[in-house]
Amino acid sequence: MYSYFNRDISWLSFNYRVLLESEDLSMPVYERIKFLSIHASNLEEFYKIRVAEHRSVIMKKVHSDEDSAEAEQILEEIKREVTRQQQEFLRIFQDEILPELARKNIILYMDDVPLPEHRAFIGNYFTDEIYPFLQPVMLLKEDIRIFIRDNRLYQVVQLRKKETGRIFYSIIKIPYAKIPRFIELPSIDGKYYYMFAEDVISVNLSEIFIGYTVEGSYNIKISRDADIFINEDDSQTNLVETIRKKLKKRKIGDLSRFVYDKRMPSECVSYICETFNIGPEDMIPDQVHLNMEDLIKLPNPSEKTLEVEPVIPIRIPELDRANRLFPIIRKKDIFFHYPYHTFDYFIRFLMEAATNPHVAEIMVTQYRVAQDSEIINNLINAAKNGKKVTVFVELKARFDEENNLFTSEMMKDAGIKIIYSIPGLKVHAKVALVREKSSPATNFGRSYAYLSTGNFNEKTAKLYSDMAILTSNKKLIREIKQLFEVLETQNINVEFKHLWVTQFNLIPNLKQMIAKEILQAKKGNKAHIILKMNGLQDQVMIDELYKASEAGVKIDLIVRGICCIIPNRSYSRNIRITRIVDKFLEHSRIWYFYNEGEENLFLTSADWMKRNLYRRIETAFPVLDKTIKQTIIDILNIQLNDNVKACFIDEKLNNVFKNDNCTEKVHAQRDIYTLLK
């Protein structure tokens, strides 16, 4: 009866919205370049994980609900859409970004012949800075002596032997570890000039291949399967060793795409594909310059004037005036909305816990932390100060496995108790608990909790939009203690009444709240649901929303990424999907239910993806403070009314920008900052 968008095609629609941000003329040119870079980086990860998974289904390497015919069809759709977006990327870059840079006196050589004033510099730079690091390899089909590494740029050089006229091919890895991607050339008449490193190599190839005529050079890159499949039956010790071994193999995973300069002659393409056993289904022709996620490294010679001014994080005077946070938390809940608020207060919360003589224990979940993390340093200090510190480390956090292994070993060496992943589940909940010693009078120690929609990561807290609450609410504290008991002992005989926890009560409670709205709608009363999240895929929960829409419930979705709901159908006529892409990554998850005017509001770590709802430990927690609740509702309404950066998703997966003809512009991220300040 019901229909759904394919999750991967939906994700590509989101990434296209990221690309469209680079066309926003109201932004400085380097901010627009940043979104080109993000689009390319997102696509690289997409091929490493999602496309690689479909390839594995076809090769029958993984068990999946998807059959090989379906996987092949999806890959064809992906290829068509990616090709379309790459063409659009090139158009924006060449027709809009490069001319805008030129207007700002910044010249990036593309296929241009360098000015005479630059030729000597380019030759000298090549000889002194690049040539010593080049290791060209002649390619022979029957004698392959090179492995093409994942997401590295290579040049294929077509050569003609001067003596015999025979054609040969050579391959060169661009040594980015030794040289910058963009080479700064001497300025001329107030203009700044830059050149791609591979172009500097190209114009000097005759210096490398003595005795050959260089017929042409073409850039190539390969993306490889980067997913790690873990045997969930492994013990914790075996899990650590298994992940270590898998990480070593990540860079040599199966090929998921071969991207090459579309100017490459067909005979050259054929030779490369035969040499490296690349099939036609893996081949994607692209522009001359690849790995365009590196655009973010393009130097800005104008002292940041072509970039967006950084937002100064908001400080909270009441907290700054206080000697300690704990007495304030005992009086009321404290709300933070990053990156509008500074993340310093959470660092301070842990620092106070580490040094407070009354604190006995600290418990934290770790999913993604920054390198050289102040959070980890504070936990180590707490352990050195005699506190009992327990950290649940999710080793299976994709692309953070290595950092999590490193930090967990560092914490273990400092005396912190480390609990690793639960078999079959990822722990994605964002929770920290601080417990004071029991007093002789009450035999009960006060406790404080920090609950968040995002990671405990001071680096991403400057870029990701997330919400968090510091609380001493006894009902919540009691259940947070139970949650850590579940993580530590895997005890399933626990009842949660206030926290919603996946694997326990989250899905039943969600269905119950939706059912309440349906009942009110059928009675002719106001019924409204607002759901903000990063991804919405699970068909079971989508069906619940379709049913609610059919009953007349007004449903507002604010979904940044994957959204498999199809709007504007008979069964989804009351569903409106808003997508916001802006300076900060919209990452907070918020669930609102009108509930006869009670207005129940939950903050959560969970999206409505299958992985979140069925294969992770996630938490959703109620916002109980009336002032905080109203602030968050105001923020939701600002986002729903955004007519600058928001667009609707239509029934064809188009990003439809609002044309409401309002004279007053509502720019959510700007206006939220104003509201909070």
The tokens describing 617, both together, are 């430990």
Q: Burial, 61: exposed, middle or buried (Cβ in 10 Å; 0-12, 13-18, 19+)? A: middle
The tokens describing 538, both together, are 């699970």
Find out whether 516 and 593 touch, Cβ atoms under 8 Å.
Answer: yes
Q: Output DSSP code: residue 474.
A: H
The Cα–Cα gap between 242 and 245 comes to: 5
Find out whether 314 and 674 touch, Cβ atoms under 8 Å.
Answer: no
Residue with tokens 């890159």: 221
The Cα–Cα gap between 615 and 606 comes to: 11
The Cα–Cα gap between 398 and 404 comes to: 10
Q: Output DSSP code: residue 4.
A: B
Residue among 580, 561, 582 nearest 27 (CA): 582
Positions of the chain with pLDDT lower than 70, given as ranges? 61-65, 144-145, 229-237, 439-444, 660
Q: β-pairing, 359-366 with 388-393? A: parallel
pLDDT at 246: 73
- In three-state secondary structure terms, 619 is strand
Query: Residue 360: enclosing H or E segment and its boundaries?
Result: strand 359-366
| Portions of the chain given CATH number 3.30.870.10 | 317-494, 506-676
Give Rg (Cα) of the chain.
27
Query: Residue 31: enclosing H or E segment and its boundaries?
Result: helix 29-46
pLDDT at 380: 96
Determine the CATH number of domain 506-676: 3.30.870.10
Find out whether 97 and 110 touch, Cβ atoms under 8 Å.
Answer: no
Query: Whats the size of the chain, residue-wise?
Result: 677
CATH class of 120-184+195-296: alpha beta
End-to-end CA distance of the chain: 48
Find out whether 332 and 468 touch, Cβ atoms under 8 Å.
Answer: no
367 HSE (CA, 13 A, CB side): 19
Find out whether 51 and 256 touch, Cβ atoms under 8 Å.
Answer: yes
Residue with tokens 């390969």: 222
Q: Burial, 328: exposed, middle or buried (Cβ in 10 Å; 0-12, 13-18, 19+)? A: middle
- In three-state secondary structure terms, 98 is helix
The tokens describing 408, both together, are 């967990």
Backbone angles phi, psi at 666, to 5 degrees: -110, 110
Residue among 449, 397, 405 nearest 427 (CA): 397
Query: Residue 275: enclosing H or E segment and its boundaries?
Result: helix 266-276
Find out whether 161 and 211 touch, Cβ atoms under 8 Å.
Answer: yes
Residue among 82, 34, 75, 77 nearest 56 (CA): 75
Say which of 63, 428, 498, 667 is annotated catalytic.
Answer: 428
Residue with tokens 């004071």: 436
Q: At what angle do helices 7-21 and 68-92 cross, to 10 degrees?
A: 10
E-strand stretches of 560-618 = 575-580, 585-586, 589-593, 600-604, 616-617
pLDDT at 528: 98
Question: What count of other Cβ atoms lies within 10 Å of the Cβ of residue 618?
Answer: 24
Find out whether 27 and 203 touch, Cβ atoms under 8 Å.
Answer: no
Q: Which long-range CB contacts under 8 A does 56-65 form with residues at least 24 apart? A: 56/225, 56/254, 59/254, 62/229
The tokens describing 481, both together, are 């203690």
Q: Kindly give, in sequence order, each residue whose CB lies less than 8 Å from that of residue 474, ignoring residues fewer than 6 positions away.
A: none
Q: Output DSSP code: residue 289.
A: S
Q: Output DSSP code: residue 663.
A: S
Instruction: Respond yes or no: is residue 498 known to be catalytic.
Output: no
| Portions of the chain given CATH number 1.20.58.310 | 1-104
pLDDT at 442: 45
Q: Kindly give, in sequence order, each residue whose CB lies less than 8 Å from that of residue 671, ignoring residues fewer than 6 positions away.
A: 638
Residue among 9, 57, 211, 194 nearest 118 (CA): 194
Domain 317-494 superfamily per CATH: Endonuclease Chain A (3.30.870.10)
* Cross-strand partners of 591: 531, 602
Q: How is domain 1-104 classified at the architecture level of CATH?
A: Up-down Bundle (1.20)
Find out whether 261 and 290 touch, Cβ atoms under 8 Å.
Answer: yes
Find out whether 566 and 572 touch, Cβ atoms under 8 Å.
Answer: yes
Residue among 137, 160, 162, 176 nearest 275 (CA): 137
Q: How far is CA 583 from CA 27, 442, 466, 578, in A?
A: 10, 49, 14, 17
The Cα–Cα gap between 371 and 459 comes to: 9
- In three-state secondary structure terms, 219 is strand
Find out whether 264 and 194 touch, Cβ atoms under 8 Å.
Answer: no
Q: How far is CA 312 from CA 315, 455, 668, 674, in A?
A: 9, 21, 17, 12
